[in-house]
Amino acid sequence: MAQEQKDQEHPLWKSDREIVDGLLAGEATDWNLAELARLRIRYNGFPGARDIQADLDKVLKQWNLSEDALFEKTRKIHAESQPYKGRGAKRDDWS
């Protein structure tokens, strides 16, 4: 009999939850797009944090974006500017 997988708690759930709440209430600025993409990557395939994953989907829908369109926009943002510069510039913590 297959063992049922238990959801895990992500170690950054609490701080990420605050970011996601801000995204839900915010607009599609370059900073927010970069944060949404970063969190989509972080939680892609993660066995848990279902609330965050569902809310990230909601934000995409609110902003009328597909994941592909989000990643296309954020690649351009990162190529043209450094969205995390000056805000604890070591923010590229994708995992």
Structure confidence at residue 4 (pLDDT): 59
- pTM here is 0.83
DSSP conformation letters of the chain? -PPPPPPBPPTTHHHHHHHHHHHHHS---HHHHHHHHHHHHHHTT-SB-HHHHHHHHHHHHHTT--HHHHHHHHHHHHHH--TTTTSSS------
% of the chain beyond a pLDDT of 90: 75
Which of 42, 43, 28 has its CA nearest to residue 74?
28
* Alpha-carbon span 83 to 31, nearest angstrom: 6
Q: Is the pLDDT of residue 43 over 70?
A: yes
Domain parsing of the chain, residue ranges: 13-80
